[in-house]
Amino acid sequence: MQPAPIVQPYDSVGRALRIMSDLRLSALPVVDDRGNLVGQVCADRLRARLMHGDAQAGLHEPLGHYVQQPLSVVSIDATAQDVQRTLASTGSDAAYVVDRGGYLAGMVRWHDLVVPHEQVRAPLGAGGMATPFGIYLTAGGVRAGVSSRGLALGGAALGLLIAAAHLLVGLGCWGLDAAAGTRVLDLWFSAAPPSGLGPSSVWLALQGASAVVFLLLLRMSPITGYHGAEHQVVHAMERGDPLTPEVVARMPRVHMRCGTNLIAGIAVFAGLLQTITVLRPFGMDALLGSLIGAAVAARTWRSVGAFLQQHFTTRQPSPKQLERAIETANELRERYPHEARARLSLLHRIWTMGAPQTALGVFVGTGVPLVALELLLGRLQ
């Protein structure tokens, strides 16, 4: 069984044709939002539509108009002989494998039954995390690379960078107060914006300075090299390309599913909301600020995220970092066909994403140093 490239009814005809062309398939399985098989789209039917009408307009039509009943469907516990009989009776090139609930677990193509595979196609849509020690990859509940402890330590490293950025800005405020007799350190200590246009503007500038310093520190850390390597191997796996240094190194470092994009959207929204709420330009209030922030974030989160990925959160990996990332990707490729699970519980899915382990590390890595830091600077005042 191989991972099945999937489309959904709201996907475009053009997207389906690109996948068919890349993977040399004449049909694709169609699934709903829960991953259950609902039908298939065939190249013959799409070709008939595009060759007898406005082809450019047809490429943008939703696939829902062209979904047919799947011809070859087998149970997840079907034998090779069962699959062979199904393919022979339907004349199909591939059979879709589903579990008892109808969830699409994968597919079996006719040549899978007669030609031994020396190399398994990589799973589509792998996710990952980067740490200072290597990368973590996951797909279908299968995990490869650094352990949960490594993810927590990687999160702690991020937390320490956040704390270090805050420390550097705080030390700068302390030095400015000592040299010029200002009270900027009081604003740095404040968790909420103070009253008054001047103090609140300085407070906002300090928050922005901490964010910029953090990005610069992150850019200099080994995390960004591994982050770039993680994106490059995921791109190669999603394309089914060989995992060689020459191929992987030419892959882009920006990935549309990177968590940086989500963080960028949140930052744009929160930054605009905070700025408008504090400064109240043209008499705007928090409600209007939230609407403006949401509208701008919805339009810019991908582009801002891509900019941050390209210039701050990733960099070109070293040969050693690329080699370790490729080793992790090969490990996932080898284990996926034997260990992938058709359906995962929500908690299991969240855990295998690595988010809880990383978040715990960030919390500890940020919280402990900042508490100690504020106690120290409080004594220096």
Over residues 60-73, the mean pLDDT reads: 88
151 and 96 part of one domain: no
Structural domain ending residue among the three candidates 113, 146, 168: 113
Residue 26 is predicted with a pLDDT of 87
The range of the structural domain enclosing residue 52 comes to 13-113
Is 306 domain-assigned?
no
Residue 374 pLDDT > 70: no
Residue 179 is predicted with a pLDDT of 93
Over residues 188-195, the mean pLDDT reads: 84
Residue 381 pLDDT > 90: no
pLDDT band at 118 (very low <50, low <70, confident <90, very high): very low
Is 244 domain-assigned?
yes
> pLDDT tens across 204-230, in order?
999 999 999 999 999 999 999 999 999
> pLDDT tens across 291-345, in order?
999 999 999 999 999 999 999 999 999 999 999 999 999 999 888 877 877 677 8
b/e code 106-116 from CB counts within 10 Å (16+ = b): bbbbbebeeee
Among residues of the chain, what percentage have pLDDT more than 90?
Answer: 48
108 and 196 part of one domain: no
Is 7 domain-assigned?
no
pLDDT band at 124 (very low <50, low <70, confident <90, very high): low
CA-CA distance, 51 to 234, in Å (whole number)?
35
Structural domain ending residue among the three candidates 113, 145, 178: 113
> pLDDT tens across 244-255, in order?
999 999 999 999
Residue 38 belongs to domain with CATH number:
3.10.580.10
108 and 182 part of one domain: no
Q: What residue type is 89 in one-letter code?
A: S
Is 347 domain-assigned?
yes
Residue 373 pLDDT > 70: no
Is 39 domain-assigned?
yes
Residue 122 pLDDT > 50: no
Rounded to two decimals, the pTM is 0.66
106 and 197 part of one domain: no
Question: For all residues of the chain together, what is the average pLDDT?
Answer: 88
The DSSP bridge pattern shows strands 37-42 and 73-75 to be unpaired
> pLDDT tens across 144-190, in order?
999 999 999 999 999 999 999 999 999 999 999 999 988 898 898 88
In this structure, of 46-60, 193-207, 267-281, 364-378, the range with the lowest mean pLDDT score is 364-378
88 and 172 part of one domain: no
Q: How many domains does the chain have?
A: 2
Beta bridge partners of 202: none
CA-CA distance, 156 to 154, in Å (whole number)?
5
207 and 159 part of one domain: yes
224 and 368 part of one domain: yes
Over residues 345-365, the mean pLDDT reads: 90
157 and 48 part of one domain: no
Is 294 domain-assigned?
no
89 and 137 part of one domain: no
105 and 168 part of one domain: no
Residue 119 is predicted with a pLDDT of 47
107 and 216 part of one domain: no
Is 365 domain-assigned?
yes
Is 290 domain-assigned?
no
40 and 153 part of one domain: no
Structural domain ending residue among the three candidates 85, 113, 141: 113
Q: Of 255, 259, 293, give the one whose Cα is nearest residue 274.
A: 293
